[in-house]
């Protein structure tokens, strides 16, 4: 346990010395983003999502809203341009309605670094749960918007 805390302390020190990385991105999240390969998926989950039930690799980002995390992550993270939909959200269950301001807020954050990204795909709740089972990681946020979960599919980072 002591080794874990020493490693986190080292990562925090390194993160503070790096430029251009939002302080909203924890050292653990930065590591996950770096370890992901093209085609891997990460879910930014709302506070109500049963992340621990579907995935063994859950990170905490309590108190953070998803639009803020999208704005912090996407300048560092290439979305997959080889698939029709690199962004996926859960469709409303029959009888429910989506709040259009949720997707608008997400797209506002996404378009800052990805202005030409394909539209967000909406899939059935249980299909989204299946994707959560296979995701590289699930980030549990403080987002309280209903149907606020979003999946990001990582693409190939272009050569510098």
Alpha carbons within 13 angstroms on the beta-carbon side of residue 34 total: 8
Phi, psi of 130 (to 5 degrees): -60, -40
8 A C-beta contact, residue 10 and residue 120: no
The reply to whether 57 belongs to the active site is no
Helix (H, G, I), strand (E, B), or coil: what is residue 94? coil
Choose, from 38, 48, 57, 111, the residue flagged as catalytic.
38
Phi, psi of 94 (to 5 degrees): -50, 130
Helices (H), the chain: 2-17, 27-35, 51-54, 66-73, 100-113, 125-134
The candidate with the shortest Cα–Cα distance to 61, out of 79, 40, 41, 47, is 47
The candidate with the shortest Cα–Cα distance to 77, out of 148, 156, 149, is 156
The set of catalytic residues is 38
């Amino acid at each position: 346990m002591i080794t874990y805390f020493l490693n986190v302390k080292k990562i925090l020190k390194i993160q503070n010395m790096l430029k251009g990385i939002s302080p909203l991105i924890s050292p653990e999240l930065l590591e996950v983003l770096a370890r992901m390969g093209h085609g891997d998926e990460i879910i930014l989950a709302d506070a109500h999502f049963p992340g621990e039930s579907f995935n063994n690799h859950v990170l905490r980002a309590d108190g953070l809203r998803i639009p803020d995390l999208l704005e912090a992550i996407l300048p560092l993270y290439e979305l997959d341009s080889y698939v029709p939909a690199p962004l996926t959200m859960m469709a409303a269950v029959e009888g429910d309605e989506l709040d259009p301001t949720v997707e608008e807020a997400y797209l506002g954050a996404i378009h800052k670094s990805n202005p030409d990204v394909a539209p967000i795909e909406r899939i059935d709740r249980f299909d989204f749960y299946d994707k959560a089972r296979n995701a590289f990681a699930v980030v549990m946020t403080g987002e309280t918007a209903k149907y606020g979960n979003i999946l990001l599919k990582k693409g190939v980072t272009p050569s510098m």
